[in-house]
Chain A
Amino acid sequence: SAVISQKPSRDICQRGTSLTIQCQVDSQVTMMFWYRQQPGQSLTLIATANQGSEATYESGFVIDKFPISRPNLTFSTLTVSNMSPEDSSIYLCSVVEGPNYGYTFGSGTRLTVV
C-alpha cells in the first residue's frame, strides 16, 4: 500500500495566521482526500483534492478558508487560513488505490490555535 508522509506532525499557531500542511505519497494516486478530526470527534471530509483542477469541497467547507493545491499525482497541500481556536483539530490526508479500494491515511497534523 502507499506510504504517506504528512508534515508537520503538530504545530501551535497564533490566531489570524495560516498554516500549510503537506502530504507526499510514494506512488501516483488519482484520489486524495483531506479530513478534519475535531477533539473527541470523528473524521469529517473537508475536500477531495483533484489533480489539475480545483478541489471539491464538502458542505460547510470553503476554498477561502481551506485552499488546497494538487500539482501532481503524488503531492497535495491543505492551508488552514485565518485560524481561530475552533480550527484546533487533527488534519489528515488520505489516498485510495486501485480497484480494491485500499484507503491509506497520513499520520495526521495536530493543530492547536491559541
Chain B
Amino acid sequence: AQSVAQPEDQVNVAEGNPLTVKCTYSVSGNPYLFWYVQYPNRGLQFLLKYITGDNLVKGSYGFEAEFNKSQTSFHLKKPSALVSDSALYFCAVRATNQGGKLIFGQGTELSVKP
C-alpha cells in the first residue's frame, strides 16, 4: 500500500538552531513528494515539492528538503529556525495510478522556542 510516515508527532527546536522534520514514503514508481504547512485556523500552504531533478529542493520561507531514493525519505530542513515557523507540517506523496490524489502523513507539530 502507498503511504507516508512522519515518525515524530512533535519536534522542539530553539530559535536559531537548525531544524529537521522527517518523512518517509512508500509508493510504486517515481515519487512526487510535497511539504505543506498549516498554521492554526488556516488552510494548507505549499512549501516545496520534488518531482524530478536535483535531490535538494529549495522552497518557501527558507525551507529545503532532500530527496533520498535509497532511504525513501524526504526530510524537511531549515538552517536557522524562527519562532514564527511553529506550526503543523505535513508531508504528502502523489499516489500512483489513483487519479492524482495526495496521501498525507500524520503531521508533525513544530515548536520553536525563543
Q: Which residues of A contact B (CB under 8 A)?
A: 1, 6, 31, 33, 41-45, 48, 56, 58, 92, 94, 96, 100-108, 110
Q: Are A101 and B32 in contact (CB under 8 A)?
A: yes
Nearest 10 pairs of A and B residues by beta carbon: A107-B43, A105-B44, A43-B104, A108-B43, A42-B104, A42-B106, A105-B43, A45-B101, A31-B100, A42-B107
Within 31-71 of B, Cβ neighbours of A (below 8 Å) are at 32, 34, 36, 41-46, 49, 51
Q: Which residues of B contact A (CB under 8 A)?
A: 32, 34, 36, 41-46, 49, 51, 90, 92, 94, 99-102, 104-107
Q: Which of B44, B46, B99, B106 contacts A92 (CB 8 A)?
A: B44
Q: List 6 A-B contacts (CB under 8 A).
A: A43-B102, A56-B99, A92-B43, A100-B51, A101-B49, A107-B43
Distance between B42 CB and nearest chain A CB, rounded to angstroms: 7
Distance between A68 CB and nearest chain B CB, rounded to angstroms: 14
Q: Once bound together, how far apart are the Cα atoms of A102 and B41, in whole Å?
A: 22
A-B contact count (CB 8 A): 54
> Which single residue of chain B is at the shortest CB-CB distance from A45?
B101
Which of A106, A108, A110 has the most CB atoms of chain B within a 10 A radius of its CB?
A: A108
Q: Once bound together, how far apart are the Cα atoms of A107 and B105, in whole Å?
A: 19
20 additional contacts (CB under 8 A) given A48-B101, A101-B49: A31-B99, A33-B100, A41-B107, A42-B90, A42-B104, A43-B44, A43-B90, A43-B102, A45-B101, A48-B100, A58-B101, A92-B44, A94-B102, A100-B51, A101-B32, A101-B100, A105-B36, A105-B43, A105-B44, A106-B43
